[in-house]
């Protein structure tokens, strides 16, 4: 008797999702060279069982042997090129053409170009595939399913696992596919197929009926019909299901040798097996099953897998205009938007002005335009005569970008502020100049005179930026106004300035621009955010579409996927870094006092950190929505706490420590040190930023690998 090892043996398999038991002490045997039809109602666990067979899920207890080894074991070829897997979902990249989809798997399995061309031609004819250049996303559901089947068949695997391959196909095509599968089995390969069309499984050599986590029957279709005295398999299954709880526990069929129907004679190369005894597998002796066979896998598959995934990612990226624009144009748009919109002083600001001094003068309000008027003169007795000084004040105010709109009364001016027309109202009393003259020469003045010599200001403080700007401009106006008056009266200009002298700053310049302060933080956040979003979106799409899972069954390792993605994203991040630096330093003249290379490296590392954060989101979030929530929920606190919007010194100590651990806070400070102070990278103020960035990369990668290890997704 020729003893022939089984292709698949499952022994006392148990699998639950939480409290929901899916497989319960399940035994299953699939002999080599047969078509095995796995049937069962929706949700009974067929897909779960298949994914345990291909090594993508682990049983809670029990054993699985596939092609003489354990799935997932090193060198078993499963997952890998010994299996062809067609999942229930299409699991193909929408940006693939029909040809790309088939070639992608061909490359993973290490097929050379000629072989792929030949197989593609063959499968195109067999499965009536749409034209090779048609995009998967433009194919109909049935066409996509046929392409998906072609992708599973491309490399002539030893074991074909097809999860509902014939759904939605027309009967003629279904018949052709079954004929082809019979031919494949005659060639010695094994086929496990699930289908909802029970009748078509008549063509299988063996059928397993899965219900409530167990196989109710596992026999040749004719045998099932005979045993249950039925004309159709549907009737037989109905009977079996009704009798399920009355039946004694099923003894695995392989232990009771049956006769394989004459019509189902099975061939493997030159050997033909006419009887079940011939065909028997020694499931009771796991020695035979676990005996290692040398898998017929081509060498250097890792290289071809890298190539396949690399080409796939490039195709996905280049054929996705949104992604391309997002990655290349967004950094430019965001940097330009920032430099154009942020940090500039408000312009064309008008304030409501009531000038009673001028109004009651002989020329009325026009007096301020009268160039012959002398506003301040030194008299012979060395006293300073001041006249219509409000005109000078208003002139100085305009030179500080605050323009007057004249009102007649202070009530009207304040009403204009109240209604939001202006941010400030100014009032000069009728005796402004004379009171000011007395005030500047006499220390002992009465409150009334003090009041008359003051410019009264009412502000709308609800807009902090603008009201602080107006306050600042009025202080500057006062400064230049008094200097002008003192000069006219031949007095030292600085005598009535505030007695605080600001020397040249140690760092930066006397008129710092907000934009320079914010730029490092903004560059850091942009370069972190973009790769983060691109990575999480691409990865979640791949996973939800089943592409990741399917590639993994074909043998692509998570590490290989990550490496390819990291390489490609790194290239994109490099381009983004260069774009941003050229724009910020050459385009908008942000000073760069430190090392260009150090600045580039810090930005690049931040991009990598953002990419790792994107990976992190993609492995921990089950959907795009979830990832969006987490990304938005985390980016905002990162930006709010990083010190660009408000200094850390304004936060409580506890919050400050939290802020320092976030990815933007210390790196933004380090970049500012590099740019504005030219600090060396050997200084902790700079290298701390690098350390925090690297720590974020390492920690997120560790969490990603941990997750991938713990959960085979």
Ligand X SMILES: Nc1ncnc2c1ncn2[C@@H]1O[C@H](COP(=O)(O)OP(=O)(O)OP(=O)(O)O)[C@@H](O)[C@H]1O
Of 160 and 522, nearer to ligand X (C-beta) is 160
Of 40 and 663, nearer to ligand X (C-beta) is 40
Instruction: Give the shortest CB-329-to-ligand X separation in angstroms.
Output: 38
Of 40 and 165, nearer to ligand X (C-beta) is 40
Report the alpha-carbon distance of residue 463 to residue 239 in Å, rounded.
Answer: 79
**Pick from 220, 209, 148: which is nearest to 177 by CA?**
148
Of 164 and 334, nearer to ligand X (C-beta) is 164
Instruction: Give the shortest CB-62-to-ligand X separation in angstroms.
Output: 16
Map residue 21 onto helix, strand or coil. Answer: strand
Burial class (CB in 10 A: 0-12, 13-18, 19+), 482: buried
Of 30 and 102, nearer to ligand X (C-beta) is 30
How does strand 159-163 pair with strand 190-194?
parallel
What angle do the packed helices 330-341 and 514-544 form, to 10 degrees? 150
Instruction: Give the shortest CB-173-to-ligand X separation in angstroms.
Output: 21
Is the distance from CB of 158 to CB of 294 less than 8 angstroms?
A: no
Report the alpha-carbon distance of residue 571 to residue 475 in Å, rounded.
Answer: 51
How many Cβ atoms sit within 10 Å of the Cβ of residue 118? 12
Q: What is 229-257 written as a DSSP string?
A: T-SSHHHHHHHHHHTTTTSPPPPPGGGS-
Of 161 and 384, nearer to ligand X (C-beta) is 161
| Residues at the site binding ligand X, with contacts judged by CB under 6 A | 17, 20, 22, 40, 42-48, 88
Instruction: Give the shortest CB-676-to-ligand X separation in angstroms.
Output: 52
Instruction: Give the shortest CB-315-to-ligand X separation in angstroms.
Output: 29
Report the alpha-carbon distance of residue 450 to residue 172 in Å, rounded.
Answer: 103
Q: What is 489-533 written as a DSSP string?
A: TTS-TTTTS-S------SSS-SS--HHHHHHHHHHHHHHHHHHHH
Evaluated on CA atoms 299, 301, 302, 303, the torsion sign reads positive
Of 529 and 548, nearer to ligand X (C-beta) is 548
What angle do the packed helices 684-710 and 596-620 form, to 10 degrees? 20
Of 17 and 629, nearer to ligand X (C-beta) is 17
Which residues have CB under 8 Å from 241's CB, separation 6+?
A: 209, 211, 216
Instruction: Give the shortest CB-342-to-ligand X separation in angstroms.
Output: 46
Instruction: Give the shortest CB-163-to-ligand X separation in angstroms.
Output: 7
The token duo for 464 is: 């902090």
Instruction: Give the shortest CB-20-to-ligand X separation in angstroms.
Output: 6
Instruction: Give the shortest CB-195-to-ligand X separation in angstroms.
Output: 10
Of 495 and 622, nearer to ligand X (C-beta) is 622
Instruction: Give the shortest CB-43-to-ligand X separation in angstroms.
Output: 4
**Pick from 127, 120, 80, 125: which is nearest to 97 by CA?**
120
In the 8-state DSSP scheme, what is residue 198?
Answer: G
Of 48 and 214, nearer to ligand X (C-beta) is 48
């Amino acid at each position: 008797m020729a003893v022939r090892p089984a292709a698949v043996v499952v022994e006392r398999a148990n699998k639950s999702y939480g409290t929901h038991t899916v497989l319960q002490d399940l035994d299953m045997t699939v002999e080599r060279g047969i078509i095995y039809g796995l049937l069962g109602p929706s949700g009974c666990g067929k897909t779960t069982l298949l994914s345990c067979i291909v090594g993508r899920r682990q049983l809670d207890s029990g054993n699985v042997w596939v092609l003489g080894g354990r799935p997932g074991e090193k060198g078993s070829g499963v997952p890998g090129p010994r299996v062809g897997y067609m999942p229930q979902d299409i699991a193909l990249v929408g940006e693939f053409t029909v040809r790309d989809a088939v070639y992608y798997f061909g490359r993973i399995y290490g097929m050379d170009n000629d072989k792929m061309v030949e197989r593609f031609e063959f499968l195109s004819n067999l499965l009536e595939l749409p034209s090779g250049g048609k995009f998967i996303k433009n194919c109909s559901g049935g066409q996509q399913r046929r392409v998906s089947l072609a992708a599973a068949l491309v490399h002539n695997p030893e074991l074909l696992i097809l999860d509902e391959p014939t759904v939605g196909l027309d009967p003629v095509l279904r018949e052709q596919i079954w004929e082809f599968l019979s031919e494949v089995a005659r060639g010695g390969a094994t086929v496990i197929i699930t289908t909802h069309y029970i009748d078509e499984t008549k063509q299988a050599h063996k059928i397993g009926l899965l219900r409530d986590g167990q196989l109710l029957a596992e026999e040749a279709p004719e045998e099932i019909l005979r045993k249950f005295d039925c004309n159709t398999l549907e009737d037989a299954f109905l009977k079996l299901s009704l009798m399920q709880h009355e039946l004694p526990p099923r003894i695995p069929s392989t232990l009771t040798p049956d006769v394989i129907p004459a019509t189902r004679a099975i061939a493997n190369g030159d050997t033909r097996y006419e009887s079940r005894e011939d065909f028997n597998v020694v499931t009771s002796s796991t020695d035979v099953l676990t005996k290692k066979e040398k898998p017929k896998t081509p060498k250097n598959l890792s290289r071809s897998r890298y190539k396949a995934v690399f080409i796939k990612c490039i195709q996905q990226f280049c054929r996705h205009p949104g992604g391309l624009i997002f990655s290349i144009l967004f950094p430019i748009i965001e940097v330009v938007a920032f430099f154009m919109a942020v940090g500039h002083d408000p312009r064309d600001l008008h304030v409501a002005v009531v000038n009673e001094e001028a109004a009651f003068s002989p020329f009325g309000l026009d007096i301020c335009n009268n160039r012959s008027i002398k506003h301040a003169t030194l008299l012979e007795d060395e006293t300073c005569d001041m006249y219509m000084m409000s005109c000078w004040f208003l002139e100085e105010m305009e030179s500080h970008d605050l323009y007057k709109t004249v009102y007649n009364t202070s009530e009207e001016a304040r009403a204009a502020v109240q209604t939001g027309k202006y941010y400030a109202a100014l009032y000069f009393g009728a005796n402004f100049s004379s009171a000011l003259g007395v005030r500047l020469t006499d220390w002992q003045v009465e409150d009334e005179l003090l009041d008359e010599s003051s410019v009264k200001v009412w502000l709308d403080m609800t807009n902090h930026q603008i009201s602080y700007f107006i306050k600042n401009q009025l202080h500057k106006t006062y400064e230049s106004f008094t200097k002008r008056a003192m000069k006219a009266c031949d007095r030292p200009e600085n005598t009535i300035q505030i007695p605080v002298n600001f020397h040249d700053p140690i760092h930066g310049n006397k008129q710092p621009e907000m934009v320079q302060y914010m730029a490092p933080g903004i560059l850091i956040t942009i370069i972190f955010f973009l790769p983060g979003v691109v990575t999480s979106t691409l990865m979640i799409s791949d996973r939800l579409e089943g592409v990741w899972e399917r590639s993994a069954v074909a043998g692509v390792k998570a590490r290989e996927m990550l490496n390819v993605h990291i390489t490609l994203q790194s290239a994109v991040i490099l381009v983004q870094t260069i774009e941003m630096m050229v724009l910020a330093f050459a385009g908008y003249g942000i000073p760069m006092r430190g090392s260009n290379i150090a600045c580039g490296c810090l930005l690049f590392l931040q991009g990598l950190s953002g990419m790792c954060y994107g990976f992190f989101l993609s492995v921990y979030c089950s959907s795009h929505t979830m990832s969006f929530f987490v990304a938005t929920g985390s980016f905002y606190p990162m930006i709010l706490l990083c010190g660009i919007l408000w200094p850390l010194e304004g936060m409580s100590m506890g919050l400050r420590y939290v802020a320092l651990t976030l990815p933007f806070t210390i790196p933004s400070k380090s970049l500012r040190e590099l740019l504005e102070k030219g600090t060396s990278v050997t200084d902790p103020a700079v290298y701390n930023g690098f350390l925090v960035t690297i720590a974020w990369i390492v920690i997120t990668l560790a969490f990603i690998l941990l997750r991938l290890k713990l959960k085979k997704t």
